[in-house]
């Protein structure tokens, strides 16, 4: 995804949300959830600041918002995909996930 940025070369930060699994049964579920959360992240005004240490010190709430959205995204993927794949390991990884 391209995140508008006041400081990045070209005016955008590049970021990617991805998920790696053993098999893909229904790609539409993956795409739908990842797209939804990409749009949520992009919509946060000044979210690019969470990529720069000098901004993080002055405004830690941007990083917190980003972290919360990423965790929320993985939790949603877990609830939709883990039952389909029956992967308990995925559930454990997501539950322990922490920045």
pLDDT in tens, the chain (99 residues): 898 888 888 999 898 887 776 766 777 888 888 899 999 999 988 888 888 888 778 778 888 888 888 888 888 887 776 665 555 655 555 565 454
Domain range annotation of the chain? 18-96
Distance, C-alpha 50 to centroid of its chain = 13
Eight-state DSSP code of residue 32? H
3-state secondary structure of 69: helix
Token match 């308990």: residue? 88
């Amino acid at each position: 995804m391209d995140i508008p940025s006041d400081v990045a070369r070209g005016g955008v930060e590049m970021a990617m949300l991805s998920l790696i699994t053993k098999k893909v049964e229904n790609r539409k579920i993956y795409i739908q959830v990842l797209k939804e959360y990409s749009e949520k992240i992009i919509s946060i005004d000044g979210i690019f600041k969470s990529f720069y240490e000098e901004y993080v010190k002055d405004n830690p709430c941007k990083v917190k918002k980003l972290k919360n959205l990423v965790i929320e995204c993985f939790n949603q993927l877990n609830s939709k995909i883990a039952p389909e794949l029956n992967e308990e390991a995925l559930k454990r990884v997501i539950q322990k996930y922490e920045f």
